[in-house]
């Protein structure tokens, strides 16, 4: 039953109203959903391949992850992750190693990424028009371009290695690291937004006479 069905002290009523408003903050909700989906996809990615064997050590390379991603504003995190997921989905849609990776986990990973992309689309459509600040828009553009170049290096690496098992193992390890970075980025951003919400909406109401 809703909070209004009972008589509540003013403070508790204010908390209920604030929490109801909180659930309507789409960006924060998007981040929360993204954290959960990212964790699931990371597990599928880990399970789809085997252990990184010594014979594959020579196949490793520095793909130069675009660290500019970590500099985007908290409101644009979802936009960057959306671009990253789109590139990831394209990457894992072709030339995968046959017979050595778990088909079931590959499909779960592909479906998980696709589902996360669909969930983020609404958030991205809301956030893009808000990037009016010229510096903010430049950061978004530069970051998006950096993500595309990053994945192009991965595509080129796989092609040069003729999509060998070891080259895919190297890419798998690389993307697990990326998802760990995004997990940390989303959790930090989500924590800051929740904290900001509490100080902006809850505490002032509690202190008001």
**pTM, whole model, 2 decimals?**
0.74
Residue 151 lies in a domain: yes
Model pLDDT, residue 74: 65
Choice among 8-22, 23-37, 54-68, 165-179 with the minimum mean pLDDT: 8-22
- Alpha-carbon distance of 44 to 175, in angstroms, equals 12
Residue 57 lies in a domain: no
What's the pLDDT tens digit per position in 86-112?
A: 999 999 999 998 778 888 989 999 999
Residue 2 lies in a domain: no
Instruction: Provide the CATH number for the domain around residue 148.
Output: 1.20.1250.10
Model pLDDT, residue 159: 95
Dmax of the chain from CA atoms? 70
Confidence of residue 183 (pLDDT cuts 50, 70, 90): confident
Residue 5 lies in a domain: no
- Alpha-carbon distance of 42 to 183, in angstroms, equals 9
Residue 195 lies in a domain: yes
Concatenated DSSP letters of 167-207: HHHHHHHHHHHHHHHHHHHHHHHHHHHHHHHIIIIIHHHHH
* 6 pLDDT above the threshold of 80: no
Q: Which two tokens stand for residue 142?
A: 């530069």
* 161 pLDDT above the threshold of 90: yes
Model pLDDT, residue 133: 59
Average predicted confidence (pLDDT) for the chain: 76
Q: For the purposes of burial, counting CB atoms within 10 Å of the CB of 126, is it exposed (0-12), middle (13-18) or buried (19 or more)? A: middle
Residue 58 lies in a domain: no
DSSP 101: S
Q: Are 65 and 148 in contact (CB under 8 A)?
A: no
What's the pLDDT tens digit per position in 26-66?
A: 556 676 677 888 889 999 998 887 667 778 888 888 999 98
Range(s) of the domain holding residue 114: 11-52+63-207
Model pLDDT, residue 113: 94
Confidence of residue 172 (pLDDT cuts 50, 70, 90): very high
Residue 1 lies in a domain: no
Count of domains forming the chain = 1
* 189 pLDDT above the threshold of 90: no
Residue 155 lies in a domain: yes
């Amino acid at each position: 039953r809703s909070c209004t069905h009972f008589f509540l002290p003013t403070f508790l009523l204010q908390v209920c109203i604030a929490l109801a408003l909180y659930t309507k903050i789409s960006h924060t909700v998007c981040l929360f959903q993204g954290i959960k989906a990212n964790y699931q996809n990371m597990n599928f990615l880990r399970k789809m391949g085997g252990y990184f064997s010594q014979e594959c050590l020579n196949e490793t390379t520095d793909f130069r992850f675009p660290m500019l991603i970590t500099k985007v504003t908290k409101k644009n995190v979802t936009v960057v992750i959306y671009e990253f997921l789109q590139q990831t989905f394209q990457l894992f849609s072709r030339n995968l190693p046959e017979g050595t990776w778990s088909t079931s986990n590959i499909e779960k990973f592909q479906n998980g990424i696709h589902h996360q992309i669909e969930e983020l689309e609404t958030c991205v459509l809301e956030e893009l028009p808000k990037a009016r600040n010229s510096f903010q828009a430049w950061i978004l553009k530069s970051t998006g371009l950096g993500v595309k170049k990053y994945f192009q290096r991965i595509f080129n690496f796989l092609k040069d290695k003729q999509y060998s098992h070891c080259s895919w193992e190297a890419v798998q390890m690389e993307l697990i690291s990326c998802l760990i970075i995004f997990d940390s980025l989303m959790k930090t951003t989500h924590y800051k937004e929740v904290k900001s919400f509490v100080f902006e909406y809850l505490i002032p109401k509690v202190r008001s006479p």
